[in-house]
Amino acid sequence: MFTCRQIYDLITEYDEGSLETGERRQFEQHVVICPPCRGFLSQMRGTRDRLGQHSPPEFPAELEDSIVTAFRTWKKEQQ
Amino acid sequence: MSSKAVGERELVARLRAGDEDAFRRLVEDLGPSMLRVAGAYAQDSQVAAEIVQETWMAVLRGLGGFGSRSSLRTWVFTILGNCASRRTKMEARSTPLSSFEVPGGEKDELECFFDANHPRWASCWTTINTRWDALPEDSLSAREAEQAIVEKLKSLPPSQSAVITLRDLEGLSSDEVCSLLGLSHGNQRVLLHRARLAIRRALQEVFD
Ligand SMILES: [Zn+2]
């Protein structure tokens, strides 16, 4: 049976599906009977989900303009 | 061929023909994500902006030879990855992404566990606050969490920051991230693990 410390170390491997069947089973057996590790698992997933909702930074208008200027130059060179 | 692939082929044809509106829309569509990924490599907003600019120049130069084996987005991000690692290797203060040696463990977190020799609670949690993941999403705590994430992302080692940005913020697959960053799957998982632990800890400080 895994310890809480091992669950802590293996949690990403578990979520990435990279544990072998035996380890996976041991992981699940521990989590089922250990409320702190269940909480930890849900925090790690909550962290991942929060990051997924995080919006990218605003794209500066000057940067867009300078990229479009490069496009015009490129277009001229193509002709 | 899927309708998305057809749409993409049309888009590429328009870009090759010099359609500026189509190009601007693509820049607006991909730009913010590109800037975020470049920022994960460079951690300096000016350098990140330069990486994005260089990437678009390279995209234009490569457009004629772009095949449809990968999606346009994946292709652009591959170029971005190349530009960013070339650029960050030149920046003395950034860690080159090629030297992906894994830094030491997260020692501050070890205090959360009883010693491995403890007679009764060996390697068990000493304390863990399991409440915060269930907290309501009121606007104050959501803003604080947002802020904590932004700050923590900036302070991560570049290798961790690049992996978590591509995986969890941009939603790329582990295969895509491994090939983009030239990492083994094992190393990618270690970096992702360390980065998620660090962000989780930063969020925990907000909610504790
Ligand atoms: Zn446990």
pLDDT over 90 for what percent of chain B?
A: 40
Number of other CB atoms surrounding residue B147 within 10 Å: 12
CB of B55 closer than 8 Å to CB of B80: yes
- For chain B, the domain total comes to 2
Q: Is the pLDDT of residue B159 over 90?
A: no
Residue partners of B46: CB distance under 8 A and separation at least 6:
none
Is the Cβ of A71 closer than 8 Å to some Cβ of chain B? yes
| Residue B154: strand, helix, or coil | helix
pLDDT of residue A57: 82
Banded pLDDT at B54 (limits 50, 70, 90):
very high
Query: What's the rounded mean pLDDT across residues A28-39?
Result: 93
Kindly list the residues from chain B whose CB atom is less than 8 angstroms away from the CB atom of residue A43: 130, 132-133, 200, 203-204
pLDDT at residue B130, as a whole number: 63
- How many Å lie between the centroid of ligand 1 and the Cα of residue B146? 28
A18 has a pLDDT exceeding 50:
yes
Give which of B78, B35, B105 is closest to A67, Cα–Cα.
B35
Looking at the structure, do residues B200 and B115 belong to the same domain, yes or no?
yes
Question: Helix, strand, or coil here: B105?
Answer: coil
Question: Based on the domain organization, do B76 and B108 belong to the same domain?
Answer: no
State the Cα–Cα distance between residues B132 and B151, nearest whole angstrom. 19
Count the Cβ atoms, other than its own, within 10 Å of residue B66. Answer: 15
Domain ranges of chain A: 4-78
Per-residue pLDDT tens digits for B9-44: 899 999 999 999 999 999 999 999 999 999 888 878
pLDDT for res B101: 42
Based on the fold, state whether residues B87 and B28 are members of the same structural domain: yes
Task: Find the mean pLDDT for residues B44-70.
Answer: 91
CATH code of the domain made up of A4-78: 1.10.10
Higher pLDDT, A6 or B117: A6
In angstroms, the separation between the Cα of residue A28 and the nearest Cα of chain B is 16
**Strand partners for B113:** B125
The CATH number that applies at residue B201 is: 1.10.10.10
Closest CB to B164 among A16, A44, A51: A51
Residues B34 and B74 both lie in one domain: yes
B112 and B181 together in one domain: yes
How many angstroms separate the alpha carbon of residue A18 from the centre of ligand 1? 20
pLDDT computed for residue B117 by the predictor: 84
Is B87 found in the same domain as B15?
A: yes
Do B82 and B111 lie in one domain? The reply is: no
User: Is ipTM over 0.95?
Assistant: no
Same-domain check for residues B113 and B85 = no
Q: Is B136 found in the same domain as B50?
A: no
Give pLDDT tens digits for B169-205.
999 999 989 988 889 999 999 999 999 999 998 888 8
* Mean pLDDT, residues A61-65 taken together: 96
Q: What is the pLDDT of residues B66-125, one digit of tens each?
A: 887 778 888 899 899 889 888 876 544 344 444 444 444 445 565 688 888 888 888 888
Asked if residue A12 has pLDDT above 90, the reply is yes
pLDDT, position B98? 42
Confidence band, pLDDT 50/70/90 cuts, at residue B144: confident
Q: Which domain does B82 fall in, by range?
A: 3-91
Residue B133 has a pLDDT of: 56
pLDDT of residue B93: 39
Tell me what pLDDT residue B95 has: 45
**Type of residue found at B96:** P
Instruction: Report phi then psi at B124, rounded to 5.
Output: -95, 165
For residue B57, report the distance from its CA to the centre of ligand 1, in Å. Answer: 51
State the pLDDT confidence band at B136, using cuts at 50, 70 and 90: low
